[in-house]
């Protein structure tokens, strides 16, 4: 009997805490009402069906609260697995894959096919209305060939965002594979973060959320910094505090901000409900970078 009473009291405390959390989320929901939120999906959130289902529930929750989520996804591990399965050799330069025509054919097949439709299905299974497309559709991402001798890697130069805004106005959730079209009809492989940043800028998004496998931008002591200005990011990069794989992510953030995005958040996609924590709570879930 005592155990049952204790369990009942615990459930009541949990219910009260849940109700309080929902009530406290109201001003944040009102603040983001109607806002476009671009989310770069990768890493842990794509690692298992459970993680994908949790992410999809968050996206549908955002949509139900009248936010307008736009998903841009990666898929590096899946591409590597398919290249290995097809016994297609991969060349690297400075640790980056060289995108040959044969490689890009596989990249398009994996990203626009298996990966994109898996995400679309996960969102639809949670009651959303997701539609998959790539940066080639309606010439969404027009690219030049990126410098650096990496082959058919695209550098976005123009975003034709009309196809996305039409979907958003129709109540759909766009899920975008990071491919681009060249002026001569070439297919370009585009870095997922770069594509997300360009699309966020083209949409004048309120937020760009970069889901990663780290907690955010850290200072010299290893502590996560929750709020940063563009000037601070520049200084930390020059001093070496920001280094390695965090450099391209913060550069994506700076580029997006310069193109009109209100704020960029680098956050840990391994955390449960990371997007909801960032958007609908006071403490957030990562490092926010503003102009």
pLDDT tens column, 142-197: 999 998 889 999 999 999 999 999 999 999 999 999 999 998 889 999 999 999 99
* pLDDT-based confidence at residue 287 (cuts at 50, 70, 90): very high
The class (CATH top level) of 33-290 is alpha beta
Residue 8 above 60 pLDDT? no
**Which residues touch 134 (CB under 8 Å, ≥6 apart)?**
108, 111, 112, 116, 140, 176, 177, 178, 179
The model's pLDDT over 254-266, given as tens digits with 9 standing for 90+, comes to: 999 999 999 999 9
CB-facing half-sphere around the CA of 230: CA atoms within 13 A: 15
Q: Which residues pair with 2 in a beta bridge?
A: none
For residue 152, what are the CA distances in angstroms to 89, 190, 212?
16, 9, 25
- Taking 3-state DSSP, the helix, strand and coil percentages for the chain, each rounded to the nearest 5, stand at 45, 25, 30
Number of Cα atoms under 13 Å in the Cβ half of residue 50: 3
**Looking at the predicted structure, is the pLDDT value of residue 55 above 80?**
yes
Distance in angstroms (rounded) separating the CA atoms of residues 238 and 242: 8
Binding-site residues from annotation: 75-76, 97, 189
pLDDT of res. 43:
64
Distance CA 279, CA 66 (A): 13
**Residues forming the annotated binding site for substrate?**
75-76, 97, 189
Say how many residues make up the chain.
Answer: 291
pLDDT at 39: 97
């Amino acid at each position: 009997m005592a155990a049952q009473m204790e369990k009942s009291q615990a459930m009541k405390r949990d219910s009260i805490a849940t109700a309080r959390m929902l009530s406290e989320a109201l001003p944040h929901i009102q603040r983001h009402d109607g806002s476009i939120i671009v989310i770069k999906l990768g890493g842990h959130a794509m690692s298992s069906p459970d993680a994908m289902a949790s992410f999809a529930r968050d996206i549908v929750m955002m949509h139900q609260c009248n936010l307008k989520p736009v998903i841009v996804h990666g898929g590096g591990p899946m591409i590597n697995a398919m290249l290995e399965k097809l016994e297609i050799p991969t060349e690297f330069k400075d640790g980056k894959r060289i995108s040959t025509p044969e490689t890009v054919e596989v990249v398009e097949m994996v990203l626009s096919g298996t990966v994109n439709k898996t995400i679309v299905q996960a969102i639809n299974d949670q009651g959303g209305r997701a539609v998959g497309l790539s940066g080639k559709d309606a010439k969404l991402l027009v690219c030049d060939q990126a410098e650096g001798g990496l082959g058919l890697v695209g550098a976005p130069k123009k975003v034709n965002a009309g196809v996305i805004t039409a979907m958003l106005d129709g109540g759909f959730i766009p899920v975008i594979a990071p491919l681009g079209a060249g002026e001569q009809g070439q297919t370009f492989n585009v870095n997922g973060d770069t594509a997300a940043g360009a699309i966020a800028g083209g949409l004048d998004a309120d937020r760009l959320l970069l889901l990663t496998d780290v907690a955010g931008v850290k200072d010299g002591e290893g502590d996560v910094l929750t709020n940063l200005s563009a000037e601070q990011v520049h200084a930390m990069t020059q001093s070496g505090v920001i280094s390695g794989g965090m450099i391209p992510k913060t550069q994506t953030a700076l580029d997006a901000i310069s193109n009109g995005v209100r704020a960029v958040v680098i956050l840990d996609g391994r955390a449960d409900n990371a997007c909801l924590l960032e958007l609908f709570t006071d403490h957030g879930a990562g490092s926010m970078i503003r102009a």
